[in-house]
Structure 1
């Protein structure tokens, strides 16, 4: 009996006397570098692209300059804000393909209020944002309370807004934007372009909305498991409707900024933002918190595409490179997001 007990004690103490660690601990030790690459791979790739274009002889003279950095940041501010607009309903697994059309429409609305109606600039800006919120509210109401497909509704709304834009402008470009708005879109504060300040404020507001409010937690719950959200009594329909209203309002901010940057408004000008915005969101879902749509990931996604295209353009790439790069980014990002989602489901099981 004593020998048997002693044998058991030796077996218990063996792992503390130099024996190999448990298999699970070993796997965790070897897996963390892969997890780190999975979480921050796109961030590292962005850094690598920046270094490459800084050292490549074809771009090394212009790419690392302060003027080029400011140019990238200011030019991409509109796209980032449009992407943040599309991000809000996408957290609840609802697509908004009307973001670009809302950007164009709110730009026209702001210009008409400021120039033709000759109302104060503050009212013109508020009017543009409210127009965006109203369009988003209509989208959200139809999608949430009629259980309509978000892709179809927002695509139809995009087409409808394109026609309204033509009706409002009469195929003309609206000019005469107030100088203070132009100054905001093209000047700097503390050496940083003013649009970048607006981008930062909008990103912080959306991050707070999604991460630190009950509304944001409800959106995440709906996106993760909508049937369970309904079972526990969550106001799913109202939350989805408000998500589209918030999306429209943020897209309205992008529309006002577009007007401030260009000094003019015309039908269809903002429609080109939809695809790059979605590409940025899905690219962002593969980094930092893989499988989730986040503000930080979206910022990385936007600037990954922007820096790549900027560097290629400076190197003399032809016009077809940008649409090909954007399209490829969408395909690869959606595929990667799908793979990550499957891995998360397997891990949950």
Structure 2
């Protein structure tokens, strides 16, 4: 079996653009993946075409070897776009391998260590408590969610004294906790908007009385000693990892004692091949892996197989979005995603007829501006 072709499709998931990848072999077996939308997303098709020229004719049943080849094919580290493209190729090849051998991908990783995968709902905002209660109740009734992720900002941290920002989220979380069933869990994603470690500590202290599931990425990832300091002063679980790219970066973070939970993204770190390595490093440090997963049904499917075969998996981020091109996405039941042992590869089907129309949507990130005109982290 040989890699014969690589095609890209410009689509969307919800209101976000998405590049889909299809790799086909000379025997007609096709594997699918989606690319992380770091932006500029339109750079991905030519980049993927360039990488495909290097692997055309190779054996698709050797995803680990091809992943290593692509990592070594550049003199310098590939960076965000390069690793996302390599991840897309890696994931499509794992899909092919499972389909060619007639087994789910998790069987290729040593088999399942759990029967289903727990998920939490990514809400990414901090709505008024009554509105939040309506949302969480609907998600619980329909999908069984008992865990949710919110924003920790009720006031603009770039335009408000930070003590007021921390006080507001502390009061808000207290109201959230008292208005929901006691078994519900709430995490808070700070989106690396803060720059001073002391502010992260203040934020954690405000959340601590009501026992958050975790505080995610309060500051930028670059300076590892800052993460060690924050974790040593926090009374809540500290999570991070979506902006880290390599096993070595996760090793540095964990060696420094900088996180209670790591959140690598399978579409960012170079694919399943690299995520398995990162999970092994985390396992050696007694740290669970709770993957970052704000993408669509193909990314979710890949994460399900990783989670199924990984002993130190925690729970999986899940974003409820409708897409036209996936016929049978993994949908939560009782707050979990069931495995599909009778389906080979990722266990989902792509409706190629829905890809005949370019369903692209323009989307750009907005950089915050402070009152003095300087810019802030988003």
For the superposition of Structure 1 and Structure 2, which TM-score range results when normalised by the shorter chain? under 0.3
Query: Whose RCO is larger (CA < 8 A, sep 6+)?
Result: 1
Using the size of structure 1 for normalisation, the TM-score is 0.25
Which structure's residues are more often strand, by fraction? 2
Using the size of structure 2 for normalisation, the TM-score is 0.24
Which structure's residues are more often helix, by fraction? 1
